[in-house]
Amino acid sequence: MSSFKILLTAISAIVLFLYGLEGFSQEIQRVGGAAFSNLLRRLTESRWRGVMLGAVATAIVQSSSAITSLTVALVDAGTMSFQSSLGVLLGANIGTRRQRGSSRSS
Burial (CB < 10 A; 0-12, 13-18, 19+), residue 88, is buried
Q: Report which of residues 71 and 31 the model is more confident about.
A: 71
Q: What is the pLDDT at residue 85?
A: 93
pLDDT digits (tens, 9 = 90+) for 1-45: 789 999 999 999 999 988 988 888 788 778 877 888 888 889 998
Domain boundaries, given as residue ranges, for the chain:
3-105
Q: What is the pLDDT at residue 106?
A: 45
pLDDT beyond 90 at 89: yes
